[in-house]
Amino acid sequence: MKCPACGHPEMVSKTQDETLSYGGQSLTLHAMRGEFCPVCDEGVWDSESYRRYTEAQAALLRAVKGDVSGEIRRIRKNLKLTQAQLAEAFGVGKVAFSRYERGETRPPAPVVKLLKLLERHPDLLKEMNTV
Does a structural domain hold residue 19?
Answer: yes
CATH number reported for the structural domain that contains residue 56 in this entry? 3.10.20.860
Q: What is the pTM of this model?
A: 0.55
High-pLDDT (> 90) share of the chain, %: 69
Residue 127 scores a pLDDT above 70: yes
Mean pLDDT of the chain: 91
Radius of gyration of the chain, Cα coordinates, nearest whole angstrom: 22
46-73 per-residue burial string, b: 16 or more CB within 10 A, e: under 16: eeebeebbeebeeebeeeeeeebbebbb
φ, ψ (nearest 5 deg) of residue 43: -135, 160
pLDDT (tens digit per residue) in 74-102: 999 999 999 999 999 998 998 999 999 98
At residue 41, the pLDDT reads 92
Q: Count of domains in the chain? A: 2
Does a structural domain hold residue 7?
Answer: no
